[in-house]
Amino acid sequence: MSKEHLVVERARKAFQTGKSKPLEFRVNQLKNLRRFINESRKDIADACKKDLNKSGNCTELFETLGIDGEINIAVKRLSEWAAPRPVEKSLLTISDEVFLQPEPLGVVLIIGAWNYPWAVTLQPLVGAIAAGNAAVVKPSEVSSHSAKLMEKLLPLYLDEELYPVVCGGVSETQELLRQRFDHVFYTGNSTVGKLVMEAAARHLTPVTLELGGKSPCYIDKNVDLRVACRRITWGKFVNCGQTCIAPDYILCEPSIQNRLVEEIQKCITEFYPDNPKTFEDYGRVINQHHFQRLMSLLEGSTVAIGGESDESLCYIAPTVLKDVRGDSKLMQEEIFGPLLPIVTISGVEEAIRFINEREKPLALYVFSQDRKLIMRMIAETSSGALVANDCLVHFTVSALPFGGVGNSGMGRYHGQHSFDQLSHLRACLIKKLNMEAANAMRYPPHTDKKLAWARIFFLTQVNIDRLRRMAMLAMFTSLAAFIVQRILRQR
């Protein structure tokens, strides 16, 4: 029996004891997780530096602050989320209890990614713990320092049996996926996403897939380019472009392309003085494999900014390419790197067509001061999320569900969405054995008369509203008639 099988068995047994169900336990574990983050800030920052050349401040900003936020909301609102949720009743259930009972699913598998190794692995864990589940955490082996640190330290803070960390590569992940889970939460690319879904299918396990895609960024020609470019440059080159919701490519009219390039250059100079290569806050490409992949994408396109690289450091300068064609190499796959193509189109009409010809992206960005244009983009395209006039920030609003659609994924999380995604909302109806006379009409032997009554009584809430409205109308009409009559009598 494999190590992975044993770990999952142990987690399941731990779950079956019921210890993860009480709210106090869950809150306790979440608080321990928070303590872990607080006490390990330096270690986490070191690991991120080694993995991705993330600066300490970067790690704070993009990894740990987010996890902190999720934990704080979960701790504060858990009792509200976990409480029974009442729903509408019908005429016959007026005296019954009708509600949704949130319940844990069981053992959840969380497969993390390497680009934000802490955020995308631990934020789902917050949801899993809050919902009362056990969770097997499989951090990405690609961000190896972070994975090792998680494996070493997490068991010191969290219940080891309920929330084990399993490290390893492809074969260990495959072995994990052979086990039975009650939910699999995967962050990564669509190719592996399909394999995860297939593996889960064998056990009829539901999945949440946080994938990616090419997130378009449309820039209206009448926009304040200076501010727009600051936000886009920031959004693109954070983490060296290795963000699932980074603006992948720009769509704009040819008339503003040159100004765009100028403004972006200004931002790069301001953000990474004097040279991105030596500047602390500019990241690195994760490994050689991705470095080579990115360099090969440059083939056939015109560099307008940057283009320098250093394979020994996995360094690629912030790079912008102009006049990129729709069929170029850069436009065939998600870039996931510091290369920003500009594709020119004749206007918003063509932009919408261009976007709709491709798979639904995880995020769609629109820069415009024209509200109508923004609403049109929203109405005529589809994407996981849409942000007008900025990039990435929707990730921080936990009330907004974070997830994809179509090729960019299925399911959602953040805040209460994490809790709901990793719970079963059980439909409950608790009746009493009284009002049996009313039930008589549903029992055989059936007669047309009983049927007629049953049809009326099994009406839903909606029909009750209709009846209520009709009754109100009848009441007002008769009242009006009465008043009119009295007036006439007085004459």
Partner 1 sequence: MANQSEVIDRLRTTFRSGVTIPEEFRLNQLQKLLSLVEENEQLILDALHKDLHKPKFESVMSEIQITLNDLYFAIDNLRTWMQPEYNIGKNLATKMDECFIRREPLGVILIIGAWNYPLHLILLPLVAAIAAGNCAVLKPSEICQATEKVLAELIPKYLSQDCYAVVCGGAEDTKSLLKNKFDHIFYTGSQAVARSILLAAAPHLTPVTLELGGKSPCFIYGHIDIQKAARRLCWSKFFNTGQSCVAPDYVLCTVETRDALLPALKETLLSFYGPDPGASADMGRIVTPRHWKRLADMLGKSQGTVVIGGESREEDRYFAPTVLVDVPESDSLMQEEIFGPILPILTIESLEEGIEYINRQEKPLALYVFSDESSVVNTVLNQTSSGGFCGNDGIVHMALPGLPFGGVGASGMGSYHGRWGFETFSHRRSCMKRSWLLEKVNVLRYPPYSEYSLGWLRWATTFKKGSWGSCTVM
Interactions with partner 1, residue window 121-150 (CB under 8 A): none
CB of 426 to partner 1, least distance (A): 6
Say how many Å lie between the first and final Cα of the chain, rounded. 98
Q: Which of residues 167-206 bind partner 1 (CB under 8 A)?
A: 182, 190, 193-195, 197-198, 200-202, 204, 206
Of 397 and 481, the one with the shorter C-beta distance to partner 1 is 397
- The pair of structure tokens assigned to 327 is 């069929």
Q: Which of residues 260-289 bind partner 1 (CB under 8 A)?
A: 270-273, 279-282
- Out of 244, 252, 314, 391, pick the active-site residue: 244
Of 28 and 271, the one with the shorter C-beta distance to partner 1 is 271
Q: Which of residues 18-37 bind partner 1 (CB under 8 A)?
A: 18
- The pair of structure tokens assigned to 177 is 């996926």
Distance, C-alpha 451 to centroid of its chain = 48
Contact between 55 and partner 1 (CB under 8 A)? yes
Of 336 and 395, the one with the shorter C-beta distance to partner 1 is 395
Contact between 414 and partner 1 (CB under 8 A)? yes
Q: Which of residues 2-21 bind partner 1 (CB under 8 A)?
A: 16, 18
Number of residues that bind partner 1 (CB under 8 A): 118
In 3D space, the residue among 378, 63, 392 whose CA is nearest the CA of residue 215 turns out to be 392
Q: Which of residues 348-377 bind partner 1 (CB under 8 A)?
A: 356, 369, 374
CB of 358 to partner 1, least distance (A): 13
Of 76 and 289, the one with the shorter C-beta distance to partner 1 is 76
Q: Is 428 in contact with 100 (CB distance < 8 Å)?
A: yes
Contacts of 23 (CB under 8 A, 6+ apart): 78, 79, 82
Per the annotation, the verdict on 244 as an active-site residue is yes
443, 449, 486, 489: which one contacts partner 1 (CB under 8 A)?
A: 443
Of 322 and 412, the one with the shorter C-beta distance to partner 1 is 412
In 3D space, the residue among 463, 469, 472 whose CA is nearest the CA of residue 92 turns out to be 463
Per the annotation, the verdict on 252 as an active-site residue is no
- Out of 4, 70, 161, 210, pick the active-site residue: 210
Q: Which of residues 80-119 bind partner 1 (CB under 8 A)?
A: 87-90, 93, 97-98, 100-101, 103, 105-106
Of 276 and 341, the one with the shorter C-beta distance to partner 1 is 276
Of 202 and 289, the one with the shorter C-beta distance to partner 1 is 202
50, 266, 293, 424: which one contacts partner 1 (CB under 8 A)?
A: 424
Q: Which of residues 228-247 bind partner 1 (CB under 8 A)?
A: 230-231, 234
C-alpha separations of 307 from 108, 214, 315, 409 in Å: 43, 20, 10, 32
The label of the residue with tokens 């006039």 reads 389
Contact between 450 and partner 1 (CB under 8 A)? yes
1, 312, 346, 444: which one contacts partner 1 (CB under 8 A)?
A: 444
Q: Which of residues 283-342 bind partner 1 (CB under 8 A)?
A: none
Q: Which residues are catalytic?
A: 210, 244
